[in-house]
Chain A
Amino acid sequence: MLEQTMSNVKVVEGSEAVALAVKGCRPEVISAYPISPQTHIVEWLARMMANGEMDTEYVRVESEFSAASVISGSSAAGSRSYTASSSQGLLLMTEVLYCSAGMRLPFVITGVNRALSAPITIQIDHQDTISLRDSGVIQFYVESSQEVYDTHIAAFKIAEDPQILLPVMVCMDGWILTHSYERINFIEQEKIDSFLPPFRPANFLDVNNPKAWGSYSEENVLMEFKYSVQQAMQYGKKRITEIFAELARITGRDHGGLIEAYRTEDAEVILLAMGSVVGTIKEAVDELRSIGKKVGLVKIRCYRPFPHEDIWEAIKAAKVVAVMDANFSMGSEGALGMDLKSKLCGMRDTPLVFDFIAGLGGREINVKTVRRIVEKAEEMLNKGLPLSESYWVDLNPEILP
């Protein structure tokens, strides 16, 4: 155990925990738009700056599109850069994020998960950040405010790794994490500084070494540019695991690697999920284990790159995997379900995979919901029924057209 003093333990709002993590990472440029929607994160940062606690350029822009563009420019100029957004705001950043990943511009974004219009809502699901999964942005999903604090500190180091150089998005559920108060262990500034040295990229916009960035490409090079992002993603799996482990040694807190396998040994039914719902699932797993059911959980921490090797190790002995997707690809199924099935396809003796759509637009998921999902998965397994369509949990047929 590392020694803990009162001074580095405090009960704070989830948004403040993120802001304190960002402050600890000493970004040179922050840019943000305050709405569409936003959270307290950027207000906490503004307050820290107003009080002289942070020395950062804060560019207050007219849209999320510009927020992402500002930090793309500052990253290219060699400054550690950060923004936060949510829901529609993340979609408005989409074009910028694809481009910055392609140009290998590292920065960190907090993606606060909320549903997308229409209908308009302020409630939670993962549709917003899932919609960015193909962009070349590395995505982490977190269970708690402690994990979101620690993951942000790792995120800058991962983004800025010379062999990665990609935007990193730390995804956290709105309200449940951003607006709730949790006891957080903070890392001393000296420890952050030695873990995360200043950003000094080999290439930046430099009048002494002028280079052209963002050139026009043709069919002779575009595929190689795209493949190099995939190479960075593949390399990232190993490097992310190392960086998480390095941080765990400093903090004494191990949240896992690319995934966390929870009570999966000898499990027949394994739930696969990500985000704050994982805490509820762990409770359900404990309950089910206490009555003799062989149930486990795989929590995905790193969604892009997709850690299918680690997932396979955790699920290969199970009979069925019940995937819980807080998103849906209209006309198909949930993204996690698709990802897992595509990786298992062609392998032998794989568990069955059932895709459950749960929690869209803030629909409550409690321990009972999880138990019903497990029961449904067992029922279909026993009947030998394949589930070709996603199963929408707690859908109310009475209000359907």
Chain B
Amino acid sequence: MNGERGANKEALFVSGHRACHGCGLALAVRHILKATGPDVIVVTPTGCLETFSSPYGYSPWRVPWIHHLFENAPAVASGIAAALSAQKRNNVRVVVIGGDGSTFDIGFGALSGMLERGDDVLYICTDNGAYMNTGGQRSGATPTYSSTTTHPVGRKSMGKPQLKKDLPAIVADHGTPYVATASVAYLKDLRKKVEKAMTYHGPRYIQIDTPCPSGWGFSSELALEIGRLGVNCGLVPLFEMENGSLTRVRKIRKKLQVTEYLKAQSRFKHLLQEDGSEYLKELQEIADQNIAKYALITSS
């Protein structure tokens, strides 16, 4: 490993891990830790991040890191926070970095409990919209009409018919003081949000859109470009909610049609065939509703 070279010098998540080329998640983690600084304990549930960052005997983590199970990271984090409080290690904070499968689906009960109790944990969901570590199975975070291995496109299927679970809203409704969405396409914005989250005490939630070349079906050098398309078409709204109120959004300067985003990824390619037009219309409506709901475009 070239741990001491170049960009790695100050990094708390260094090279040598086994993420795919162009992995949005690996990039997100490095910038999350840049924003938190070194005095954090990171909890990671089972998933891509756990697998590519922890082959036994090697570790890119320069902060204490723990993986326990798939569905209990929020509770493990609560236990660590309780121990830190008991030991009066007040300078150390707890951060969960977990995928959407763990967060939206199997670990949702534990997450809800952690939020309701008000435990001092920053929960970051790196959202790539499916169970990508195992080949791309449908999760509650999978976007509408995306094709996955457990809800594939076929003669009688256009992929996932349901809406993506609106987890930021559900988290905010727990009374969570800080909720934000971010994208690896806007790293400065991402770091700012993590920094702001660190100024709060109690539970905090940040959901980061992390484009996945192998799962979404795009060339690995395009991860940030795909991320930007998602944000600028309105399907990936970036906002902050503080104490229940929407306090800031990232404005869309030049609105793109959803087709610009969808056609760049093979998980949506069926929508661009002849019989896809009504489904495309639905997705455009979802994007337009987001734009209206979060006021993503400044009307002049």
A is bound by B: yes
A interface residues (Cβ-Cβ under 8 A, vs B): 28-29, 31, 56-57, 59-63, 65-67, 69-79, 81, 95-96, 99-100, 103, 205-207, 209-218, 221
B263 at the interface (CB under 8 A from A): no
Write 12 A-B pairs (CB below 8 A) sorted by A numbering: A28-B83, A57-B85, A61-B78, A61-B113, A61-B117, A62-B110, A71-B79, A74-B79, A77-B80, A212-B66, A216-B56, A221-B57
For B56, the chain A residues whose CB sits under 8 A away are 215-218, 221
For B77, the chain A residues whose CB sits under 8 A away are 73
Whether B92 lies near A57 (C-beta < 8 A) is no
Determine how close the nearest CB of chain B comes to the CB of A207; give it in whole angstroms: 5
Known: A212-B54, A213-B67, A214-B68. A56 touches B79 (CB 8 A): no
B82 at the interface (CB under 8 A from A): yes
Whether A69 lies near B83 (C-beta < 8 A) is no
Chain B: which residue is nearest A28 at the CB level?
B86
B291 at the interface (CB under 8 A from A): no
Where chain A touches its partner, the secondary structure class is mixed
CB within 8 Å of A: which B78-109 residues: 78-80, 82-87, 92, 109
Among A81, A206, A213, A214, the residue within 8 A (CB) of B79 is A81
For B51, the chain A residues whose CB sits under 8 A away are 216
Q: Give the A-B pair count, Cβ closer than 8 A.
A: 160
In this complex, how many residues of chain B approach chain A with their Cβ under 8 Å: the count is 44
Whether B112 lies near A213 (C-beta < 8 A) is no
B260 at the interface (CB under 8 A from A): no
Whether B63 lies near A207 (C-beta < 8 A) is yes
Bound-state CA distance A59–B77 (Å) is 11
Determine how close the nearest CB of chain A comes to the CB of B12; give it in whole angstroms: 9
B116 at the interface (CB under 8 A from A): yes
Whether A215 lies near B55 (C-beta < 8 A) is yes
Determine how close the nearest CB of chain A comes to the CB of B239; give it in whole angstroms: 28
For A70, the chain B residues whose CB sits under 8 A away are 75-76, 78-79, 82
Q: Which 8 A-B pairs have the closest CB atoms?
A: A73-B79, A62-B113, A69-B75, A77-B83, A69-B72, A73-B76, A70-B79, A214-B67
Whether A74 lies near B72 (C-beta < 8 A) is no
Chain A: which residue is nearest B59 at the CB level?
A212
Interface centre among A56, A67, A79, A217 (most CB of B within 10 A): A79
Determine how close the nearest CB of chain A comes to the CB of B134; give it in whole angstroms: 13
Whether A216 lies near B87 (C-beta < 8 A) is no
Whether B39 lies near A62 (C-beta < 8 A) is no
Known: A59-B117, A62-B109, A78-B83. A207 touches B41 (CB 8 A): yes
Determine how close the nearest CB of chain B comes to the CB of A90; give it in whole angstroms: 16
Known: A79-B86, A213-B66. A65 touches B72 (CB 8 A): yes
Chain A: which residue is nearest B40 at the CB level?
A207
Bound-state CA distance A62–B72 (Å) is 12
Bound-state CA distance A221–B38 (Å) is 30
B61 at the interface (CB under 8 A from A): yes
For A210, the chain B residues whose CB sits under 8 A away are 61-65
Bound-state CA distance A210–B109 (Å) is 29
Chain B: which residue is nearest A209 at the CB level?
B64
B43 at the interface (CB under 8 A from A): yes
